[in-house]
Amino acid sequence: MKKNTETFLEMRGISKEFFGNRVLNDVSFSMQRGEILGLVGENGAGKSTLMKILFGMSVIHETGGYDGKILLDGKEVTFASPLNALDAGIGMVHQEFSLIPGFTTTENIVLNTESLKYNVLVELFGDKIKNLDFEKNTQRAKTAIAKLGFNLDETMLVSEMPVGHKQFTEIARELDREQIELIVLDEPTAVLTESEADILLQSIRTLSKEGIAIILISHRLQEIIEVADKVLVLRDGAVVQEVSASQTNVEQIAEWMVGRELHQTVIEKVDTVREEKSGELLLSVEHLWVDMPGETVRDVSFEVRRGEILGIGGLAGQGKLGIPNGIMGLHVAGGQVIFKGQPVTLNNPRFSLNIGMAFVSEDRRGVGLLLEEPLDWNIVFTAMQTQDKYVKSYLGGLIQWRDDEAMSRVAQEYIQVLEIRCTSEKQLAQELSGGNQQKICLAKAFALNPELLFVSEPTRGIDVGAKKIVLDTLRKHNKQKGTTIVMVSSELEEMRSICDRIAIVDEGFISGILPASAKSTEFGLLMVGKGKEHKEEANA
């Protein structure tokens, strides 16, 4: 099917308040069949909320609905639930995965719409006794996967999949729906490697040629420019620009998003060669292995000195994420880890926290937050549990009760420092936008005041303006509070801006450790395994 010029979807004058807080104000846009719309804006600008309205999600109805109209082919529609939106041909892939871990790719793709097979018992007991049609379901999954152009194993269990494969499975599920006309993708490439992201962008183009319209939300502005036909920029809940992608560029979009000129690039270049830290040995890791799906660590050894910021980089799926997850006890690990001269008991998260280490996970929804609790509670909870901080003692310590005042104080401090967009420290974590939730995870780790802080993908899902705030805050904790930091990231330039040294992981091994001031090309060679000779030298 070719793109046509008739309007297929129109959202007209959309406004939305959550408990008196206006988050969308008179937003209008329209799309044609097969058109690709890039939807961009700062964390909390209202992108996900706008899409939740389009998709009929219950959180919208439960919080007083919305004002404005949605029109499909010129006719007004109201979606009471996502099922109605799906029936109308609209699919959505959210920031958080909704797959069933114990099911295979195929089972997840056909979930709730499984093809069934007739057998003789149906005559006696009715349709309920029909069997699953294994072959047909497999065929359906294969067809949906083929549309993506990504090599997904349709028999693999979701629990054993690397994160990028989960993202493709989610999208394949939408493509399995016969009458699909529009797919909303909320930050689909945030968890993908560069080559996976390229494949996804390519499949988006293919789907568009087949007449499927796509709304792509992303903080990676370059990919918006590359793939979108049109860009819609939201700021503080209102449309500030609607422009053809071919007539703009990344810098201009970033400026519209934040509402001012961005004079300096977000990531400052490394201006000085950082000296080797010669402080006391804080952490020594020897022959660490970690069994983490998609991020297996085979044999890793490195040392971290007190006061240092060590980066750990490498291509996705090579094991860099496994290192902090293994040391902090979240995935099965072995080998030897020594912290302040004492052996660390692996496979025991509490042990690592108790001895002064903290971890900001890349999986903020999975292990990062208590979604149904307020922000202050989220920020102090771990410190309260492991360090008796933010509690008051009565009757000579016999009774302990939380110190509400101290909780509010620390929460307000981090809300201000990290510019967390919320109504107050009493707002529930689940009510925050994805990027602001990520900042809460960082605040929670800072509140622990750890001696050693592991941060994994700290700027994932963070908008172009706020990345600098996050990196500056890490640097400030390192300089002013002496926090030693191990930062795992796919963003090499960000690591180079704050780290002293950077280790590169390849195929589960460290292929080299270089000063952050080394050339990008040297890091590039290590990433593709062409630097094994650096290994001994770096670890010496």
Ligand X SMILES: Nc1ncnc2c1ncn2[C@@H]1O[C@H](COP(=O)(O)OP(=O)(O)OP(=O)(O)O)[C@@H](O)[C@H]1O
* CB-based burial, 162-201: b 16+ in 10 Å, e otherwise: bbbbbbbbbbbbbbbbeebbbbbbbbbbbbbbeebbebbb
62 versus 275: smaller Cβ distance to ligand X? 62
Nearest to 498 by CA among 269, 313, 265, 262: 269
DSSP secondary structure string, 70-139? EEETTEEE--SSHHHHHHTTEEEE-SS----TTSBHHHHHTTTS--EE--THHHHH-GGGPEE-HHHHHH
Nearer to ligand X, 48 or 497 (CB): 48
Site for ligand X in 448-467 (CB under 6 A): 463
Count of positions (residues) in the chain: 540
Part in contact with ligand X (CB under 6 A); list of ranges 46-54, 81-89, 301-309, 518-526: 46-54
Distances (CA, A) of 412 to 75, 161, 441: 46, 38, 14
Is 37 a binding residue for ligand X by CB under 6 A? The answer is no
User: Is residue 534 near ligand X by the rule CB under 6 A?
Assistant: no
Which is closer to ligand X, CB of 317 or CB of 374? Answer: 374
Nearer to ligand X, 95 or 208 (CB): 95
Applying CB under 6 A, the span of 43-51, 175-183, 289-297, 321-329 interacting with ligand X comes to 43-51
**Per-residue three-class SS string for 465-482:** CHHHHHHHHHHHHHHHHC
Stretch that binds ligand X, among 36-44, 170-178, 368-376, 471-479 (CB under 6 A): 36-44
Position 351 contacts ligand X (CB under 6 A): no
317 contributes a contact to ligand X by CB under 6 A: no
Contact with ligand X (CB under 6 A) among 11, 27, 43, 468:
43
Tell me: does residue 41 bind ligand X (CB under 6 A).
Answer: yes
> What is the enclosing helix (H) or strand (E) of 486?
strand 484-488
The answer to whether 18 contacts ligand X (rule: CB under 6 A) is yes
> Counting contacts by CB under 6 A, is residue 59 touching ligand X?
yes
- Tell which residue, 276, 214, 268, has the closest CA to residue 245: 214
- Member of 8, 49, 232, 327 binding ligand X (CB under 6 A): 49
364 binds ligand X per the rule CB under 6 A? no
The least CB distance from residue 476 to ligand X, in Å, is 22
> Do the Cβ atoms of 380 and 390 come closer than 8 Å?
yes
Helix axes 375-387, 404-417, angle to 10 degrees: 120
Residue 46 binds ligand X (CB under 6 A)? yes
Q: Are strands 116-117 and 131-132 parallel, antiparallel or unpaired?
A: antiparallel
Q: Which of 31, 45, 239, 384 binds ligand X (CB under 6 A)?
A: 45
Closest separation in Å from C-beta 62 to ligand X: 8
- Which residues of the chain form contacts with ligand X (CB under 6 A)? 18, 23, 41, 43-49, 59, 63, 421-422, 431-436, 463
